[in-house]
Amino acid sequence: MSARDRIRETNPAFYERYSMLEDTDEFWEFIIRPLRQSIRVNTLKAPLEVVVERLREEFELQPIPWVREGFFINVDNLAKVPEHSLGLIFGQEASSMIPPVVLDPKPGELVLDMAAAPGSKTGQMAQYMKNEGCIIANDPKLSRANVLIANLNRMGVLNTRVTTKDGAYFGRFENTFDRILLDAPCSSVGMIRKKWKFLESWRLRGVIKYMNIQKMLILAAYRALKPGGTLVYSTCTIDPLENEEVVDYLLRKTAARLEPIDLPVKTSEPVLEWEGRTYSEELKKALRIHPNDNDTEAFFIAKIVKPEGGA
């Protein structure tokens, strides 16, 4: 049975909706093809070259083009790799390394990671900040926050405080953070490659529920951002309601602007019209990544700036 037929049989509504986005055999095949294992080398604990040299004695490493510390690795179970338990490397999906690269936090800055668990992106940001400055890493669920803390400890992250607030809470800290990452909770279409259940459980009402949460979170994040600051909005889904719709909502409500993202990554065209809605041309600057573009999870990334003196 073809990938297309398996998906159509498992969830007809899913198939019908996303065939309007892209309807190639390749697209359907990559939506369910198992993911390649990828890792990020943690330079908080050891120099990149030292770790890479050691790993190459045992494994094949293929550099991920858009992140210097990222590699595809030919291993089935990372738990068997000593460097993993030591926190020298961290299992992280290749496209999920893009948002911290785009955010580009600097040592000494005050950064908010609004939906941080399990912490792979938080650790990546701490790495770019050389453990200097401060990251507020938030996750409203205590169980997820505990996983976040454990991962940050293993990675040797020292500049991060973990909070368990609803993300919208941070809207009260107006004009406070230099940079904010909102890797928003979403319908996780991109993660079907990891877990089939995301396909089985997908419902349009779930997409709409997430869209409403995302709109609330992005407004709170923008409010908390300093003028001149950068907000990166990302999801691991392909639905325009959770991606272009949410960013367009922010653009209409505020003085926010999008900046182009220049990375060696293949992308699909951002959606400027969907279900009778028309979105801002600014959204051409966002990255829409389908699984078949780079053989990764699906991802959406927008780089948003708050103008100096802008509301």
Which one of the listed residues 125, 236, 241, 289 is annotated catalytic? 236
Is residue 29 exposed (0-12), middle (13-18) or buried (19+ Cβ within 10 Å)? middle
Residue entry with tokens 């490493």? 61
- Which of these, 213, 279, 207, lies nearest to 238 by C-alpha position? 207
Give CA separation, 6 vs 140, 227, 238, 267, in Å: 35, 48, 19, 25
Is residue 9 exposed (0-12), middle (13-18) or buried (19+ Cβ within 10 Å)? exposed
The two structure tokens encoding residue 69: 């510390």
* Alpha-carbon gap, residue 281 to 300, rounded angstroms: 16
- Which of these, 211, 217, 273, 216, lies nearest to 237 by C-alpha position? 211
- The helix or strand, by DSSP H or E, that contains position 257, with its residue range, turns out to be strand 257-259
Contact 181, 112 (CB under 8 A): yes
Sequence-separated (6 or more) residues with CB below 8 Å from residue 29: 2, 3, 4, 292
> Catalytic: 134?
no
Residues identified as active-site: 236
